[in-house]
């Protein structure tokens, strides 16, 4: 039989687990939009940003299948696992959500999931 302190500890653990599950569901439903700021050249590495615009250029890297987009003169890196079978045509208007990173001295946005790439009609 469990003592009083053990029962309280189990109830607290269950309460915390339920709170975490509820927060995960709410944040999953809300998405990244409320937390992303518009991209600027001053955006800090690691910050979540949004970039809207038309694709100027799309390049598929031969070794690995990663995609590099140029949108409003900003480099956007899309890993092969995220790009999948999608094609990216010049002139397509998109909204992108990603994390800023500096690669070889130049800022770029790294896309983390396929849901972070949205085509604008």
Distance CA 56, CA 68 (A): 11
Same domain, 113 and 55: yes
Q: How many domains is the chain partitioned into structurally?
A: 2
List CB contacts of 57: < 8 A, sequence separation 6 or more: 69, 70, 90
CATH number of the domain encompassing residue 110 = 2.40.50.140
Question: Is-contact 118 94, C-beta < 8 A?
Answer: yes
Same domain, 42 and 10: no
Domain containing 57 equals 36-119
Q: Read off the pLDDT of each residue in 70-83 and give the average, rounded to a whole number.
A: 96
The model's pLDDT over 95-104, given as tens digits with 9 standing for 90+, comes to 999 999 999 9
Task: Look at residue 90 in the predicted model and tell me its pLDDT.
Answer: 94
Distances in whole angstroms, Cα of residue 64 to Cα of each of 56, 61, 78, 81? 22, 6, 11, 10
The model's pLDDT over 39-70, given as tens digits with 9 standing for 90+, comes to 999 999 999 999 999 999 999 998 888 999 99
Same domain, 46 and 22: no
Distance CA 116, CA 118 (A): 6
How many Å separate Cα 18 from the centre of its chain?
Answer: 25
How large a percentage of the chain has pLDDT more than 90?
81
């Amino acid at each position: 039989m469990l003592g009083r302190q053990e029962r309280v500890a189990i109830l607290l653990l269950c309460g915390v687990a339920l709170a975490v599950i509820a927060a995960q569901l709410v944040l999953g439903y809300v998405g990244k939009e409320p937390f992303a700021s518009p991209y600027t050249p001053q955006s800090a590495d690691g910050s979540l940003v949004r970039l809207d615009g038309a694709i100027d250029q799309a390049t598929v890297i031969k070794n690995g299948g990663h995609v590099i987009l140029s949108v409003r003169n900003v480099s956007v890196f899309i890993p092969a696992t995220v790009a999948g079978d999608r094609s990216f045509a010049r002139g397509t208007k998109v909204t992108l959500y990603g994390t800023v990173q500096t690669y070889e001295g130049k800022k770029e946005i790294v896309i983390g999931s396929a849901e972070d790439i949205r085509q604008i009609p």
